[in-house]
């Protein structure tokens, strides 16, 4: 009997690895501040000291405990990227779904509105938004959402176009179903696999944009603990204590790898389920 139970997700080794990696990073980001042995902003030792029993990852350029700052530095990065990606997908997917379903002049008008942002480098759009609204988390979220939404609209439209010709969609239209009902009940569940994969890619890009902005001093401001800020702050002391830079950089890398593996695995698992 147990052999008849289908567990497509657990058979995906890459997704399992991704889940473990992502779970580790999320646990560190969420619960890390409560586990930090020292205040992440307090000077507790000499500058750029090597790892020791008192400070397992050493101290940074200002004598702060690197381990405490790593444990406290992921929460803001994670939730800012998550909120920005969610806003971008809510806006971009709505435009893409409507454009692909309605077609005609509505499709042309909605897609032309996404052309301009797509040809401008994302970091430039982010810098313009921050220059206009100032530094801080809200301008950062708005800027990343504006960067991501046009691409989301394009991807969603490309997925919905072939789906609109399927028999189940035509049957729903003949039954007199409303546009929103057809999109939400008939089309969206059948393109959810590729969308989940794309969400993973977008979330990864959002993480990198947040990290880039924080690295440039346009997002989270020192002395707040943040992994990207730590990378920027400790460049000069790399030779003295490389862990002050490597530890936060590794955490950012693990986060992006974990997200991509999990999203790709979920997308393929849902795709297999839809094919069956």
Look at residue 7 and tell me if it is in a domain. Answer: no
d(CA 70, CA 156) in angstroms, rounded, equals 36
Answer whether residue 4 is part of any domain.
no
Question: Residue 272: is its pLDDT beyond 60?
Answer: no
> Is pLDDT above 60 for 273?
no
Segment 61-92, tens digit of pLDDT: 999 999 999 999 999 899 999 999 999 999 99
Residue 67 within a domain: yes
Give me the domain span that covers residue 203. 13-30+58-275
Among 30-39, 125-134, 161-170, 257-266, which is the least confidently predicted range?
Answer: 161-170
Gap between the Cα atoms of 80 and 82, Å rounded: 5
pLDDT tens profile 104-123: 787 788 888 888 778 888 88
For the cut 60, the answer to whether the pLDDT of residue 276 exceeds it is no
Kindly tell me if the per-residue pLDDT of 266 is higher than 80: no
Question: Average pLDDT over the chain, rounded to whole?
Answer: 84
CATH number for the domain spanning 243: value is: 1.10.3720.10
* 124, pLDDT greater than 50: yes
Full-model pTM: 0.81
Query: Considering its fold, how many domains does the chain have in total?
Result: 1
**End-to-end CA separation in angstroms for the chain:** 20
Asked if the structure places residue 222 within a domain, the reply is yes
Mean pLDDT throughout 155-183?
A: 77
Q: Is residue 85 part of a domain?
A: yes
Contact 140, 206 (CB under 8 A): no
> Is the previous residue joined to 223 through a cis bond, with omega within 30 degrees of 0?
yes
Domain-located, residue 3: no
Given the structure tokens 């409507």, which residue do they identify? 98
Does residue 41 form part of some domain?
Answer: no
Confidence band, pLDDT 50/70/90 cuts, at residue 47? very high
Residue 3 has pLDDT above 50, yes or no: no
Is 42 inside a domain boundary?
no
């Amino acid at each position: 009997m147990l052999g008849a139970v289908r567990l497509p997700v657990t058979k995906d080794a890459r997704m399992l690895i991704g889940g473990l990696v992502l779970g580790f990073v999320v646990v560190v980001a969420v619960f890390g501040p409560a586990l930090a042995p020292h205040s992440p902003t307090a000077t507790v030792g000499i500058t750029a000291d090597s790892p020791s029993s008192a400070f397992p990852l050493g101290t940074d350029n200002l004598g702060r405990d690197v381990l405490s700052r790593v444990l406290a530095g992921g929460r803001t990065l994670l939730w800012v990227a998550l909120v920005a990606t969610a806003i971008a997908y809510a806006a971009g997917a709505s435009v893409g779904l409507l454009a692909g379903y309605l077609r005609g002049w509505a499709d042309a008008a909605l897609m032309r509105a996404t052309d301009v942002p797509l040809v401008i480098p994302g970091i430039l759009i982010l810098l313009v938004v921050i220059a206009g609204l100032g530094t801080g988390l809200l301008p950062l979220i708005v800027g990343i959402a504006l960067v991501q939404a046009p691409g989301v609209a394009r991807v969603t439209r490309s997925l919905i176009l072939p789906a609109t010709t399927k028999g189940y969609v035509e049957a729903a239209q003949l039954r007199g179903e409303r546009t929103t009902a057809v999109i939400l009940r008939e089309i969206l569940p059948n393109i959810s696999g590729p969308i989940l994969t794309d969400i993973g890619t977008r979330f990864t890009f959002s993480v990198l944009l947040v990290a880039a902005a924080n690295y440039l001093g346009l997002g989270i401001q020192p002395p707040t603990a943040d992994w990207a800020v730590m990378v920027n702050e400790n460049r000069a002391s790399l030779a003295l204590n490389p862990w002050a830079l490597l530890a936060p950089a590794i955490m950012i890398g693990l986060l992006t790898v974990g997200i991509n593996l999990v999203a790709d695995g979920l997308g393929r698992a849902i795709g297999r389920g839809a094919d069956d």
